[in-house]
C-alpha cells in the first residue's frame, strides 16, 4: 500500500452524501452495507489496467472498464483496494451496457463500494459534485469554528472565565472538558461524563502530556503505570504540528480523548473527551488552549507587582514618598501625548514604550516609563527629563515639564519635544533663583493675577512671541492670547518688547 499522504485542506465527503445527490443518480450495487460512511477525499478517472501507481488513497476511482475483462476483475479490484481507494465508480456505456457481474462479485468479496454511474452522468459531473460537497462542508466547518471562537471569547470575558471557557468548549465539542492540576486532580470539569474507562484514560493521558510541557501527548506506548483498561492509544504529535493533536480512543464506546499542556509554566493540562471527532475540533480546542493559558498564567512580573503595590499603598493612605520607591529606581520619564484614532490606541502606545502605567483622560495620555522614548507615528509627544522615583516631588515636576513640552510640540508641529534644562540656570543657587522668581512674578500670582496668565506668558515666551502658535498650544483664540499678554505687561510693569525683560521673565518662569 502506498505511503499515507497528508489529507487535503478541504474536508472529505461522506460517500452517502454523494449517493444522495439525485442529479448524479449514482447507485451502490456492491460493497459493505456501511459504505456510506466512507470518506471521499478526491476523484480520479483512469482506464489503466493497474491504476495502483496513480492513486494516493481516499479517491473515488471512476472507470468505464475499457481494458477490464471478467478474468481480470478480481485482480483489478484487489489492486484498487490495496491502493486505498474509497470507492469505485463504473460508468455504463459506451463500453458496457451494464456493470459486469464479475466486478460486482469481486467488489463484494474485497469490501470495496461499487457505484453505478448512469449513462446520462458524465464523470466530470461526478467530480464537480464532489468539489461542491467539499466546499459546502468547508463552509460549515468555518462557520462552526467562527461561532465557537466568538463563544469562547465571550466566555473568557465573564467574571468566572476559566469555568466559563471550559463549559463553552464542552458544549461546542459535545463532550467533556477537564482542567487538571499539576498533581492530576480535576480542578474544573464540565460537560457530558464519559465512561469510567475513558475518564481513567484521560487522566493518564494528562500525566503523559505533563511530562512534555507545551506539547500534546505522544502516546506511542502507555505510561509506566501500566496499560489503560479497554483503551487503545493512538500516537500523534504536538498541537502545533500540522498532523493534528494526539488522541486516545476508548475501544468500548469510542470516546476520543485529547490533552494539552497549558502555557505559563503552571503545570496545568486541558483534557477533552468527545464521542466523535468533527472537522474543526482541533482549531476550536486550540483557541480554548490559548485562552486558558492566558487566564491561568501569572500576569505580573516582579516589577509590575511592585507598581501595583505602590498604587495599593496610595489608596490605603500612604504618602507618595512612601509609595514611590516601589516603582523601582528608574530613572523614570513622564510622557504626555495626544493622537491615536482608536479606543485602544493609548494602551498600544504605552505598550510600545514598555509601560503599563498609563492614564487617559480623553484629551491627553500620560505615561510613566523607564524606557527610552522615541517618536511614534500618529502621536505628538512631550517628554520630561528623567527623574528618580524615590523623589515624588521630582515626578510631579516631570509631569509639569512633559505637559509644557507637549504644548511646544503641538505649537511647532513637531512629533516629539523633550524638556531641556537651561544651562544658565545652573549658575545660581536653586533657593536664590526660586526666591527671585517668586518676587518677580508675584503680580501675576497675587490677587490681580491668575495661573492662566502665568501659563500664557510662559508659552508665549517659549514660542518667541508667536501669537498664532501660542493660541494653538493653549487651545484658545489668538485675541485671548493678546489680551492675556497685555495684562501680564501691565501687572509686571514691563516692556515685553525688550529682549532683556523677556530673558529675565523667562528665567523666573523656569524657576517657578
Give residue-wise pLDDT tens across range 273-321: 888 778 788 889 889 988 888 887 665 555 666 667 777 777 777 777 7
Is 222 domain-assigned? yes
What are the angstrom distances between the C-alpha of 15 and each of 18, 34, 59, 254, 268? 5, 10, 11, 22, 41
Q: Which of 265, 296, 327 is the last residue of a domain?
A: 296
Which residues are within 8 A (CB) of 240 and not within 5 positions of it... i.e. 6 or more apart? Answer: 215
Cell of residue 365, nine digits: 495620555
CA–CA distance, 350 with 388 (Å, rounded to integer): 20
Give the pLDDT confidence of 179-195 residue by residue, as tens digits: 998 888 888 899 988 88
Beta bridge partners of 179: 188, 270
Question: Do 329 and 273 sit in the same domain of this protein?
Answer: no
Measure the CA–CA gap between 350 and 460, rounded to whole angstroms: 30
- Are 290 and 170 found together in one domain? yes
Same domain membership, residue 324 and residue 278: no
Q: Do 24 and 120 lie in a common domain?
A: yes
Q: Residue 201 maps to which CATH number?
A: 3.30.450.30
Domain-embedded: residue 143:
no
- Confirm whether 189 is domain-assigned: yes
Q: Answer yes or no: is 4 within a domain.
A: no
Please indicate, yes or no, if residue 500 is contained in any of the structural domains.
Answer: yes
172 and 290 housed in the same domain: yes
Domain assignment present for residue 270? The answer is: yes
Strand, helix or coil for residue 379: strand
Q: Is residue 377 part of a domain?
A: yes
How do residues 99-126 score in pLDDT, each as one tens digit?
A: 999 999 999 999 999 999 999 999 999 9
What's the pTM value of the predicted model, to 2 decimals? 0.48
Range of the domain at 123: 13-133
Separation in Å, CA 19 to CA 26, 40, 45, 402: 5, 12, 18, 74
Q: Domain check: are 121 and 46 in the same one?
A: yes
At residue 421, the pLDDT reads: 61
Q: Are 108 and 18 in a shared domain?
A: yes
* Domains in the chain, number: 4
- Asked which of 418, 439, 470 is the last residue of a domain, the reply is 418
Q: Residue 473 falls within a domain, yes or no?
A: yes
pLDDT at 226: 35
Give the phi and the psi of residue 476 in degrees, each rounded to 5. Answer: -130, 175
Same domain? 286 vs 162: yes
**446 contact partners, CB below 8 Å, separation of at least 6:** none
Domain match, 434 and 485 both? yes
291 and 165 together in one domain: yes
Residues of the chain short of pLDDT 50, as ranges, are 1-7, 212-252, 426
- Residue 357 CA to residue 450 CA, distance in Å, equals 32
Pick the last residue of a domain from 395, 418, 441.
418
Amino acid at each position: 500500500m502506498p505511503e499515507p499522504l497528508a489529507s487535503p485542506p478541504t474536508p472529505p465527503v461522506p460517500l452517502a452524501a454523494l449517493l444522495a445527490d439525485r442529479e448524479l443518480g449514482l447507485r451502490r450495487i456492491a460493497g459493505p452495507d456501511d459504505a456510506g460512511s466512507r470518506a471521499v477525499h478526491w476523484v480520479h478517472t483512469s482506464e489503466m489496467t493497474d491504476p495502483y501507481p496513480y492513486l494516493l488513497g481516499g479517491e473515488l476511482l471512476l472507470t468505464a472498464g475499457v481494458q477490464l475483462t471478467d478474468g481480470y476483475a478480481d485482480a483489478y479490484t484487489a489492486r484498487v483496494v490495496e491502493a486505498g481507494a474509497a470507492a469505485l465508480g463504473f460508468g455504463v456505456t459506451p463500453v458496457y451496457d451494464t456493470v459486469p457481474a464479475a466486478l460486482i462479485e469481486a467488489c463484494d468479496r474485497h469490501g470495496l463500494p461499487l457505484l453505478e454511474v448512469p449513462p446520462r452522468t458524465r464523470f466530470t459531473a461526478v467530480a464537480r459534485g464532489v468539489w461542491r460537497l467539499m466546499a459546502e462542508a468547508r463552509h460549515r466547518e468555518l462557520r462552526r469554528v467562527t461561532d465557537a471562537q466568538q463563544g469562547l471569547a465571550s466566555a473568557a470575558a465573564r467574571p468566572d472565565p476559566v469555568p466559563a471557557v471550559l463549559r463553552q468548549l464542552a458544549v461546542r465539542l459535545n463532550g467533556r472538558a477537564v482542567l487538571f492540576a499539576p498533581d492530576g486532580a480535576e480542578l474544573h470539569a464540565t460537560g457530558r461524563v464519559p465512561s469510567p474507562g475513558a475518564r481513567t484514560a484521560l487522566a493518564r493521558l494528562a500525566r503523559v502530556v505533563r511530562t512534555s510541557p507545551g506539547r500534546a501527548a505522544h502516546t506511542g506506548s502507555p505510561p509506566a503505570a501500566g496499560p489503560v483498561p479497554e483503551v487503545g492509544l493512538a500516537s500523534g504529535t504536538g498541537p502545533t504540528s500540522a498532523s493534528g493533536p494526539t488522541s486516545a480512543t476508548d475501544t468500548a464506546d469510542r470516546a476520543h480523548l485529547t490533552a494539552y499542556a497549558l502555557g505559563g509554566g503552571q503545570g496545568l493540562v486541558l483534557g477533552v473527551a468527545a464521542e466523535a471527532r468533527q472537522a474543526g475540533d482541533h482549531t476550536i480546542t486550540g483557541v480554548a488552549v490559548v485562552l486558558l493559558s492566558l487566564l491561568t498564567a501569572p500576569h505580573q512580573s516582579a516589577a509590575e507587582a511592585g507598581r501595583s503595590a505602590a498604587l495599593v499603598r496610595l489608596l490605603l493612605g500612604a504618602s507618595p514618598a512612601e509609595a514611590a520607591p516601589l516603582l523601582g529606581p528608574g530613572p523614570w520619564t513622564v510622557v504626555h501625548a495626544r493622537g491615536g484614532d482608536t479606543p485602544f490606541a493609548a494602551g498600544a502606545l504605552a505598550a510600545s514604550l514598555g509601560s503599563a502605567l498609563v492614564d487617559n483622560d480623553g484629551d491627553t495620555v500620560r505615561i510613566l516609563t523607564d524606557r527610552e522614548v522615541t517618536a511614534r507615528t500618529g502621536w505628538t509627544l512631550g517628554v520630561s527629563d528623567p527623574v528618580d522615583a524615590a523623589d515624588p516631588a521630582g515626578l510631579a515636576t516631570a509631569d509639569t515639564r512633559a505637559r509644557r513640552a507637549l504644548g511646544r510640540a503641538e505649537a511647532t508641529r513637531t512629533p516629539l519635544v523633550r524638556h531641556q534644562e537651561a544651562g544658565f540656570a545652573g549658575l545660581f543657587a536653586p533657593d536664590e533663583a526660586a526666591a527671585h522668581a517668586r518676587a518677580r512674578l508675584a503680580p501675576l500670582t497675587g490677587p490681580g493675577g491668575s495661573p492662566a496668565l502665568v501659563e500664557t506668558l510662559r508659552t508665549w515666551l517659549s514660542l518667541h512671541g508667536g501669537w498664532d502658535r501660542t493660541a494653538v498650544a493653549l487651545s484658545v483664540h489668538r485675541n485671548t492670547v493678546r489680551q492675556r499678554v497685555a495684562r501680564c505687561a501691565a501687572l509686571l510693569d514691563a516692556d515685553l518688547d525688550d529682549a532683556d525683560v523677556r530673558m529675565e521673565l523667562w528665567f523666573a518662569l523656569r524657576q517657578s
